[in-house]
A and B are shown apart, each in its own frame.
Chain A
Amino acid sequence: MNIKLTRRKFLHSASVAAASVPLARLARAENGLVKKPVTAPGSYAGTETRYGGVCEMCFWRCQLVGKVRNGRLIKLEGNPKSIENGKSICARGNAGIQLLYDPDRLKYPLKNVGERGAPKWKRISWEEALDETASRLKEIQKKYGPHAVALFPHGASAFYPLQYFEFTGTPNISEASFYQCRGVRDMAYMSTFGFAPGENVDMANAKAILLVGTHLGENVHVSHLKQYLKGLENGAKLIVLDPRFSAAASKAHIWVAIKPGTDTAFLQAVMKRLIDTGKYDKEFVAKSCLGFEELKESLAEATPEWAAKTCDVPKEQILQVADLLGANLPNVSIHPGRHTTWYGNDFQRLRAQACLTAILGAYGVPGGLIQPKGVKLGKASWGHGVFAEDCDLSTFWPFHPPGTPTEAIRETTLTGKPYPIKAWIAWGQNPIQTLPNQPETIAALKKVDFVMVTDIMPMDITMYADILLPGKSYLERYDYVKTGMQWNPADKPQQFVTARMPLVEPMFERRDSVWIVNELAKRMGYGDKIPVASIEEHVEIRLEPAGLSIAKLKEMEGIFIKEGTSPYAEAGQRAFEFSTDSEKVELYSEQIDDNEFSPVPTYIPTGEVPAGYARLVYGRSPVHSFSRTQNNTWLHHEMPENPVWLNDSVAAKQGLKDGDRVMLINQDGVKSRNSTILKVTPGIRADTVYLAHGYGAMNPELTVGKGQGIDDQGLITKFGIDPETGATGMRTNFVKVVKA
């Protein structure tokens, strides 16, 4: 367009003056700007400190304060009142601002008028989005039953949708945090100790710490690292089992460069050595454990020679580890781990970790496994759903964590057997990167009649949505109420309660999940069953039994603190009651036996590495929370790609050099979508290749993270399903490193 006139001339022409009158009427009637008293230029607004933030850049939920000026969040800091993280937050915590103001974030409800996987977005009103979602879901429920709707939730904002959909009658709900992460750990410890362990080992006061694959330091959670570093500072001996010279291994007194997949054998040999040398907590075992003789018997073959060969480590190291643990019992931390779904035989390994903890008597003592006590909170929920007979796919896995194994949902969706699943809903979860065998996930997403996704950011999963809803981030909403104790269990016992409160107003049309679910419920015929009118009401109900309210918490700078109880038992107490069937720690479990699994921890080998390949092992980056943070400019800047670790002798043989651009090809010939940088190091076994998970997004809407680094999940085409729990074992693939 080429305007020949000057504006001056144009504006002076009388006809325009006349014509512009109708234009005035066509402008917006409401004003975006309103009059206010003049603020003298140069008089800057003060910075206000807002309390009540709870971080969710990862699941650890450190307490925050926000520095806000002119309504704009300019800095996040740890809440000085916090008895967990204190003033400290990690890199990701700091970078929450970048998430809040990321221009790629979802802003309005969107409808996909293109195809799933190749979307074309159209902004629609909430009214339209909710009407359409509700009518599609209702139609599917009516035609195929409520269990034809599957939900993949994640995070604090998804608790309410999870309850709601379960209430409407679908058991097909699968959380990655259980089925592709910690569920197997929780179930193994439940079967042994009767409670889920969290990461509650008292490393700060331990004399020895054993990490099985856990890579603290690369795995960053503020108060947890404080505990770990305090322990090391106090002289704890650190033992690390890891095929890689991880950040933790670099601080270890004993680094066991174990062959991946053999940890259970190692743990068995350690237990045998402890029992053979009498270095176990005899009193705790006698008074608080069941099945010691069966355990002992089961270990008859677990000799150091056998384990040394199986695990490809020196025999002496096994003895050394056992003796070190035995010498420091009961004040040892056997870390339960977090992401534990490795090979599809993981229940047994975690049972072994739990049993080792027990025979060392490392429970309720400084350094041991503890059960922190928080303040009692209130509840408001949708109530339990009633499932149609035979629609629960999870019963096949007797020790499954809450919900249904993800693989069962995906397979049922694809085969239509035993019944059709016709709608997928993802709420803060990114199943494309949490589930192995991506082509199957994509096929399932394409097969169903309806896909709805609620998220903060575009993700690989959002590309498959029919309706895409924008959520409020953790900095803009109420939701999570947290209670716990001081970070160092040996300090004066205290308890705290905090609630997530918004630090800034939400922008655009982002909504919280209670609002979204309630609006859907009204449209789906459950309006009269809505348990809370708003997320604020939910928080108030949670706080009420503690004598608290949102207003009171605000007055308390976001955190309520009171005197607590020590997580340690009285000195000398060795008899405890646990919530297992027998009320003892079950080294041998009848319940497991009844379900025809090995009742004592048993080593089940995983597939061997084929010649010319190495096992693909993945882990965390200290500056990312997997795919959730891949588009964060600040964090991306810290670690834009995920280097592939390759053993130096293997690299030399292949003619590869440190810094080369490389790609990975797996045993099925699947090649990584992108390339990344090669890290050549003696600090990894020759049969193992390592990289951080959460890179290499497909969605081009992630303008920072797209195609950066390699997505390990794209290479995980083979996986194991843990027979006891249904969890997905994902370290079962083998790759070759090739030049890009």
Chain B
Amino acid sequence: MVETLSTSVQSEIIRFLARSLEYPQSTWLNHHYLDGLSSLLTELGYQNDLTEILALPADSAEALENLQIEYTRLFINGIPATVAPPYGSIYHHGEGMLNGRSTEKTLEYYHSHGFDLADPSDLADYLPLELEFLALLLAENKEAEAREFYQEYLGPWFGAFRQRVREGSRVPFYRILIELIDFFTKEEDEYEH
């Protein structure tokens, strides 16, 4: 019972983090969202001052815009180069392109677990989608599959991605999110039980 509860909590948190990696918009990046993030960080014992990360985007158009500019630079089209496109095939086996062989394999993995892309033009290895998939598996209490998916799909590229965001992000918001994603997705010895 306790185990079931904890996987479902983990699933909810991962879904929450998946949304956090989408383009910042006032529709979701509001006080409710920031309160949620704040309580999560507090529960985790985050020591630093939260105001810098949390207060601004919900209240100030300028702060939201700055976050959007940073998001564009990090993940869409940046100067001098996009820091960390959030797509697996950029990192996997040096493919360096979108919709690579590993993207297709990811899609096949979804198919073999009874899922498909809602929008067929989406890329299966878009980080928020991989997180959503992981959350779905956990919600169904499929821990072994979740472990397999992490080991074979998300894990192999997430490290390189995380490294780039860590080094390249000019705002703490994304650095912290990446650490949260890492914390809630990475393999822990609990899988060994």
Chain A residues at the B interface, C-beta cutoff of 8 Å: 1, 3-8, 10-13, 15-17, 19-28, 30-41, 44-45, 69-73, 98, 100-108, 110, 113, 118-123, 458, 505-507, 633, 700-701, 703, 706
Contacts and interface: CB of A to CB of B under 8 A. Distances in A.
Contact of B76 (A6, A8, A71, A108): A108
Contacts of A8: 6, 188-190
A26 B32 contact: yes
A121 B45 contact: no
A633 B71 CA distance: 25
4 tightest A-B CB contacts, nearest first: A700-B80, A27-B15, A11-B6, A39-B111
Contact of A33 (B23, B81, B129): B129
A45 B188 CA distance: 34
Contacts of A701: 77-82
A7 B183 contact: yes
- Which of the listed residues B85, B99, B117 has the most CB atoms from chain A within 10 Å of its own CB? B99
B118 A3 contact: no
Contacts of A19: 39-40, 43
A395 B106 CA distance: 60
Contact of B184 (A7, A25, A106): A7
A728 to B, nearest CB: 30
Nearest to A24: B12
A701 B76 CA distance: 11
B141 interface: no
Interface in B1-32: 2, 5-7, 9-10, 12-13, 15-16, 18-19, 22-23, 28, 32
Contacts of A41: 108, 112
Nearest to B114: A38
B117 A33 contact: yes
B77 A121 contact: yes
Given A32-B117, A69-B104, A70-B104, A122 B112 contact: no
A330 B130 CA distance: 67
A44 B108 contact: yes
A25 B33 CA distance: 9
A102 B45 CA distance: 41
B18 A106 contact: no
A645 to B, nearest CB: 31
Q: Please report whether the interface of chain B is mostly helix, strand, loop or mixed according to DSSP.
A: helix
B133 interface: yes
Contact of A103 (B2, B5, B90): B90
B107 interface: yes
B175 interface: yes
A23 B44 contact: no
Given A26-B36, A28-B15, A507-B123, A104 B104 contact: no
B190 A26 contact: no
Contacts of A70: 104, 107-108
Contacts of B18: 27-28
Contacts of A103: 82, 85, 87, 90, 96-98
Contacts of B122: 32, 507
A189 B176 CA distance: 66
Given A31-B132, A102-B97, A16 B9 contact: yes
Contacts of A34: 115-118
B121 interface: yes
B20 to A, nearest CB: 9
A32 B36 contact: no
Contacts of B40: 19, 23
A19 B9 CA distance: 9
B100 interface: yes
A247 B97 CA distance: 33
B118 A5 contact: no
B44 A101 contact: no
B16 A27 contact: yes
A100 B100 CA distance: 11
A411 B82 CA distance: 35
B112 A26 contact: no
A455 to B, nearest CB: 11
A505 B28 CA distance: 28
B41 to A, nearest CB: 9
B147 interface: no
B68 A123 contact: yes
B160 interface: no
Given A36-B115, A103-B85, A10 B77 contact: no
A32 B87 contact: no
B139 to A, nearest CB: 10
A633 B97 CA distance: 9
Contact of B112 (A22, A27, A39, A706): A39
B69 A122 contact: yes
B81 A5 contact: no
B44 A5 contact: yes
Contacts of B107: 70-71
A7 B10 contact: yes
Nearest to B96: A633
A13 B43 contact: yes
Contacts of A23: 12-13, 15-16, 36, 40
Contacts of A507: 98-99, 121-123
B98 A101 contact: yes
B179 interface: yes
A155 to B, nearest CB: 21
A24 B16 contact: yes
B188 to A, nearest CB: 5
B116 A11 contact: no
B120 A10 contact: no
Given A33-B115, A107-B76, 8 more contacts: A7-B190, A8-B6, A23-B16, A32-B132, A36-B114, A70-B104, A100-B99, A101-B98
Contact of B78 (A4, A36, A121, A706): A121
A110 B39 CA distance: 34
A70 B46 CA distance: 43
A105 B82 CA distance: 10
A506 B79 contact: no
A422 to B, nearest CB: 26
A123 B76 contact: yes
B137 to A, nearest CB: 11
B113 interface: yes
Contacts of B149: none
Nearest to A40: B112
A108 B82 CA distance: 14
Given A26-B32, A36-B111, A113-B69, A1 B179 contact: yes
B59 interface: no
A33 B123 contact: no
B97 A101 contact: yes
B36 A37 contact: no
Contacts of B129: 32-33
